[in-house]
Each structure stands twice: as structure tokens, then as C-alpha cells.
């Protein structure tokens, strides 16, 4: 299984330099389309999404739902080239996924 990145040009270029493929997106709609296209691939084990797109309302709903319904692929959000957009505590993310307060 391999990793796949969804983000802006700088982020995609950085990951390509270390051998990880990805899709460059510039809008939330493009990011959602890229996510669904990537989910259709059976060889993807980790999807890395730029925070600036992962925190969009539609993408956030999709990612939260996928984390609840599927074991794989692992979906990770990281700060993109524009820096940390929204600092979320790990415990908040786990609480959303599990549906319990920790």
C-alpha cells in the first residue's frame, strides 16, 4: 500500500521529491473530487490532505464519515505550504471519530 497527497502545488512538489504521488488542487470542490477518486484506488493505504482543504465544511464531513466507516485508507491532515490553518487537538479528533469525550 502506498501514500497519496492532496494539496496545493508546493505541498505536492515536496512530496513528489520523496516519491509520493498526489493531486494538486486549488479549490475545496477539486479537493473533494480528488479524495473520492483516490478512495476508488485499492492500492492507497494513506491519504494525506492539506489542512486548508481538509477543514472545508464539505471535506470535513466526508473525512469524518470516512474515518467512522472505513479502516483503510488512513486519512491524515497536515499543514500545507501556507502553514497551520486550524490547530485541532488530537483528543478532539479522536472524540469526533469515536463519538465519546476523552
Task: List the one residue out of 97, 38, 33 whose CA is nearest residue 73.
Answer: 38
Which pLDDT value is given to residue 85?
A: 47
Strand order in the sheet with 2-7: 21-24, 2-7, 44-50, 74-78
CATH architecture of 2-98: 3-Layer(aba) Sandwich (3.40)
For the chain, which residues make up each domain, given as ranges? 2-98
**Per-residue pLDDT, 64:** 87
Q: Which DSSP letter does residue 82 get? A: T
pLDDT of res. 32: 93
What does pLDDT average to over the chain? 82
Question: Which portions of the chain are predicted below pLDDT 50?
Answer: 85, 90
Amino acid at each position: 500500500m502506498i501514500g497519496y497527497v492532496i494539496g496545493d502545488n508546493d505541498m505536492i512538489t515536496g512530496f513528489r521529491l520523496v516519491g509520493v504521488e498526489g493531486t494538486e488542487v486549488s479549490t475545496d470542490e477539486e479537493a473533494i473530487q480528488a479524495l473520492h477518486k483516490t478512495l476508488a484506488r485499492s492500492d492507497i493505504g494513506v491519504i494525506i490532505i492539506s489542512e486548508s482543504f481538509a477543514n472545508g465544511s464539505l471535506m470535513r464531513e466526508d473525512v469524518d464519515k470516512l474515518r467512522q466507516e472505513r479502516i483503510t485508507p488512513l486519512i491524515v491532515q497536515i499543514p500545507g505550504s501556507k502553514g497551520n490553518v486550524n490547530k485541532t487537538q488530537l483528543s478532539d479528533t479522536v472524540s469526533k471519530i469515536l463519538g465519546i469525550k476523552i
